[in-house]
Structure 1
Amino acid sequence: MRRSRFLQAAAASPLLLATARAWAGGDDRRVPVVDAHVHCFAGRDDARFPYHPLGPYRPVELATPEHLLACMNEAGVDFAVVVHPEPYQDDHRYLEHCLDVGRARLKGTCLFFADRPGSLDRMTELVRRREGQIVAARIHAYAPDRLPPFGKPELHALWRRAGDLGLAIQLHFEPRYAPGFEPLIREFPATKVILDHLGRPFQGSPEENAVVHAWAKLPNTIMKLSAFPAQDQYPHRDVGPVVRDLVKRFGPDRLIYGGGSEPEATGASYRAYREQVRSHLADLSAEDQAKVLGGTAASLFGFHNAAPKAPS
């Protein structure tokens, strides 16, 4: 579209108008940048937001929404999804604090446990109270003592309720546990299923990874390009071939990215992480790269309802 025609069309759309203003100011991005995977922690000493007794770990360093937003501004990240972390278990007070600080720029995922009494009602109450701000329900399956009730009515009910509430299901799992999820992915095709951290391919055998790769044929699955391991750390493997294979399997309309916002992150390091992700997308057009780095997530999580913030 020519610039003049774009500016004319923008008058009828708040989102296009915001994009047009950014374009006029020199920002030629057509879609927002969306980080789909950040964690925030209040630390051990904030009595307002204590870690849960059942949390598997207790971070010492702070990772506040204020620091996140500062890094986002410097790195040109418009929106982000705060993935509610396990140290808080099903206590979402700090997530709600983050959403209050971030306003329209942050949304969040929730964590409820299918086999704990009252989880469905509490999830429903949170989602309705935080209308439009909770976008997914996360399920973990990565250790024998951290598994959902596979094959039982409780997990089926949680999956159904999340779908009824308009949430995606976000899976953080080792490939060996993938078969337990597949019946539900197939039974509820209208519910989007986000696969965290490349599907954790280095924790799976070729046969186990093949199950996850086959999900690329299921249109409700979305792969998240996140948690890239450094090659000088265990398992000492180059992530590049894995990412390029997933890009071919899932395509830009079913790929999102996340990560880079660590407690010690700066705007420069945060941007550098995104450019690392982009380096594995070289076979895609600029338009499709933009989808992976924000466009697909913006559509999935409803960030198009708010104007993107141009980077400083």
Structure 2
Amino acid sequence: MIIDSHAYCFPPADSPAGHPTAADHLRWVQGGQASHHQPAWRIRDRAPASSDVLAAPGGAMDFDNLPDVNFRVDHDKGRVVWTIDGEDFTKQFYPPNLPHLEYTPHNLLAEMDYAGVDKVLLHVDAMLGRDPAFQAESVAVDPERIYSLAPVDEWRLAGELDAVIAETVAAVEQHGLHAIKFNPPHAYYYRSDPWDGEHLRPFWEAVAALGVPIFFTLGTGPGEASVLQTVESRRRGYLAELDILVRWMERYPDVLCSLTHGFPWRLFLDDDPAGSPSRIELPDEIWAPFANPNLGLEVCFPVRLGDVFDYPYRELWPTLEQMVERIGAERLLWGTDMPFQNRFCTYRQSRRWIEDYCGFLSAEDLAAIMGGTCARVLGLRSRN
């Protein structure tokens, strides 16, 4: 059974999508484009450009002060556009070929059928939408094949704790979503306390009581958005976030959890003097949290490093082998970030680079990575 543990469905980028208004949603999209590493260009001649002009001076949540650049959606071409001094610019954080910047469960199922993917776990992100009802509607299109995480408004926990708890519980108990997505970087927007601290204890107690897995997307700590951060300080920040996760897992020993995207791979590329990275170099301490058997790790490379290494990603094979050796295939979950991985490879290729090229993997390893681990985490029965 092939299960993609990380995919998305989402409504158009200029629709409300669970935000108060369509304009509120579009502000999240603008902020997301500003900080993403995908290149921007001037539409007239495809000359390279910068998307830094989209950023607000006060950081990621400073939506009231986003630059007015007529940020909008080109529905026909399926991309965002902004205008500066009469010139239009764009970038493809979203992959090409998404009219209206929308990706429906029907779009996803068609890709799954073509690539031979049996089941999929939908993830959530505020830039794409924050509506548990939409996630449930996507699942309802084919509930035997589509499962979904529940969104959490982490940034609201600082001032609306009870409301966020109620919404998260309802996403699981009323909308029937299957697990929870938690983004610690969002929890730092309005206070810098560690996200396992006493101020969030009521939230975590309520979440743990739901009995569903939690998928964490760790960042590099409270100062993540600071332009003063260096690569080394961000590495230290990420390792500190892993320490918080260790404490959290000790407090909630019955909760299964997983790290989405794997590690922040771009932070651990080797420092090649020629400026062209050739491999990933991981510090020994990054494996320490996996002493806890409840923690899994996503195998998700093309979407994160497809602009650095080309298919079939030979430079990444040693890292996958290291992951198997250090924590075991039975705790690794194949994920793609579909449809975003289409920026660099096809859905079939996101399978093939592992199944056809990583000869160090046994049949048992492949069965676990490509679906068995995710099925276990979600409590799904294997198909005979």
Q: Within 5 A, what are the aligned runs for 1:1-312?
A: 32-46=1-15, 52-53=24-25, 55=28, 56-57=31-32, 61-88=101-128, 90-112=130-152, 113=154, 114-115=157-158, 116-117=160-161, 118-131=163-176, 133-141=177-185, 145=189, 149-150=193-194, 151-174=196-219, 175-176=238-239, 177-203=241-267, 209-228=283-302, 229-230=304-305, 232-233=307-308, 238-259=315-336, 261-262=338-339, 265=342, 269-278=346-355, 281-304=358-381
Which protein has the larger Cα radius of gyration, Structure 1 or Structure 2? 2
Return the alpha-carbon distance in structure 2 between the equivalents of residues 78 and 274 of structure 1: 12
Structure 2: give runs of 5+ residues left out of the alignment: 34-93, 95-99, 220-237, 271-280
Shift of 1:105: 1.0
1:190 is paired with a residue of what secondary structure? coil
Query: Does the 8 Å contact 2:17/2:129 carry over to 1?
Result: no
Query: Does the 8 Å contact 1:231/1:239 carry over to 2?
Result: no
1:170 is paired with a residue of what secondary structure? strand
- Root-mean-square deviation over aligned CA pairs: 3.4
Structure 1: give runs of 5+ residues left out of the alignment: 1-31
Aligned-partner residue type, residue 97 of structure 1: E
Query: Does the 8 Å contact 1:65/1:101 carry over to 2?
Result: yes
Return the alpha-carbon distance in structure 2 between the equivalents of residues 254 and 127 of structure 1: 24
Return the alpha-carbon distance in structure 2 between the equivalents of residues 128 and 232 of structure 1: 40
Q: Cα 1:208–1:240, aligned 2, differ >3 Å: closer, same or farther?
A: closer
Return the alpha-carbon distance in structure 2 between the equivalents of residues 48 and 210 of structure 1: 41
Aligned-partner residue type, residue 278 of structure 1: E
Aligned-partner residue type, residue 41 of structure 1: F
TM-score of the pair, normalised by structure 2: 0.62
Q: Cα 1:227–1:146, aligned 2, differ >3 Å: closer, same or farther?
A: farther
TM-score of the pair, normalised by structure 1: 0.75
Return the alpha-carbon distance in structure 1 between the equivalents of residues 12 and 123 of structure 2: 16
Higher helix share: 1
Return the alpha-carbon distance in structure 2 between the equivalents of residues 209 and 100 of structure 1: 42
1:107 is paired with a residue of what secondary structure? strand
Shift of 1:208: 8.7
Number of positions where the alignment pairs a residue of Structure 1 with one of Structure 2: 273
- Larger RCO, structure (CA 8 Å, separation 6 or more): 1
Deviations, residues 211-243 of structure 1 (Å, cap 9, x unaligned):
431112111110110143336539x99333222
